[in-house]
Structure 1
Amino acid sequence: MGIFDTAESALGTVNSVLNFGSALGVQGNMGLNPHLFVTLQDKVSGTSVKARIISYSISNQAEWANKFEGTDGDSKVPILSAILQSGMYSDKLDVLEALNSKTLITKAQSIQVWSGLQPQNISMELEFRAFSDPVTEVEAPIQELLKMMSPVLKNTSLDMAMSTFEAVKGLLKNKGATAKQVHAATDGKLGETPSKIAVSLFGKRFSGATYRIESMEESVDEVRIDSSGNRIYQVVSLSLGSSEGITKSDVISPSGAGSIMSMF
């Protein structure tokens, strides 16, 4: 039995991609606050991975731009403006001294307007530790994360790919075409992009957002393995990018006052 067979039997059936259900990795909460863990789920296969968060950072970046740049007087007559502002030739013409260090740029030219937003980025270090089963708790979840990150690429020629594309294009022109026909035309011929990932981070903060794994690094300070060569401890660093920028509707308002003591 291979590692993925073992992982599959350990995972069981996930009924819905919107329900994280059982997961590879951490089994239970080890007596810790349940919100100290993150769950990532492949939205196609439904497979979930759960790990304890060692550290994390969340980055949101909005794009602002000066749309009025270049509309000022200094930009329209740059040479003259430079002469006046720098005080050049003021020793030859007294009137130029009065305009030394002056500018035609106004406050209006500095107005920034919103022009878009970048995908949200989540970077985190995850801990996988084996308490009873190194395969289910460490090896299989790490392999599953790598599978989530990886595409499926077909070893086919460009001509075959183009002919498949033309066949699909012909089907799409036919308004009576069915999904079954499109699937039959592409089955086994086209690759698949990496999976979209649903993330449960502390069980709150963002809803509806899907992510992609952009980078994954396994760091080892000390090799810890069992007699079969399976790792019993591993730290994994992940960088996730959201499929779309985070909007107001994606941000979940906090609920309940809670207690600081409940954090520990």
Structure 2
Amino acid sequence: MVPSGYTRVGEVGGHIRTVLLFAFFAFQAGVADPRIGSWTLVSAQSSMDPANKLSIMTVPDGSHVVMSGETRLDFTANTHGKQAPAPGNLGFNQIELHRISKKEVEVREKKDGAPVATVREKLSNDGMVLTSTTTSTGHTPVITVWTRSGGTKDPKDPFVGDWTQDMGKTRMQQGSVLKIDADGSGGVRFSGGYTYTAKFDGKSYDVKNSRNDTVALALVDPHTVDATFKRDNQVSQKDKWQVSADGSQMTLTSTATLETGQHITEKLVFKKQ
């Protein structure tokens, strides 16, 4: 995205120098998007303030689950797999809980009877680590790792207790692939967990299969791309893509504001296929 103003960094002979001079020259010279190609995710880290907290309690014939942080969830699920109402939750209003084994459960989220997402939760052998994998149509599976932080460790129900999300663990499933192609008219076609086609002209372009509505791109230098996303006409996410000098590795640093108002920073590293 080309900013509407310039940042003054000094004056020489009465001429204003700007931090955008090199970026402008690079764009005029026809420098291509350094991201073009296919990439595979090799590592991911994220941080959030405050960190997510998860509490699971037993109730008659079910479990009461409360999660705060990135997404606020509060529902009671029947342990016999029967569908239960879950009002007030973002994205779903019905829930099903299925016991796969003593240390593994499957939660099915629905919206007015239609499947929305499936969450598979698995406990470590010592019952101190809970790994949750969320899958939904059109989105990259998300892996969240929780560590037991307190509460009663009930031998009859090892999921019961208080859990804290481990932000140092991978949130996104490793091995996911990005594909970025030139669109033939100075822009790019991006395909990953979401898709868009956009030019480097600072204008907003539609994003599909995303919680964001639009994206605007800026070619900062021959190795760096900035992407600004908006939701409901408000900036909701800023991404910086940096490609290594040899073109074999790409690092994405993303900062986003969630619907809850909380902020998340995520760093993903990709290698070229």
Q: TM-score range, shorter-chain basis?
A: under 0.3
Q: TM-score, normalised by structure 1?
A: 0.22
- Normalising by structure 2, report the TM-score: 0.21
- Between Structure 1 and Structure 2, the one with more helix by share is 1
Name which one, 1 or 2, has greater alpha-carbon Rg.
1
Question: Is the strand fraction higher in 1 or 2?
Answer: 2
Larger RCO: Structure 1 or Structure 2 (Cα < 8 Å, ≥ 6 residues apart)?
Answer: 1
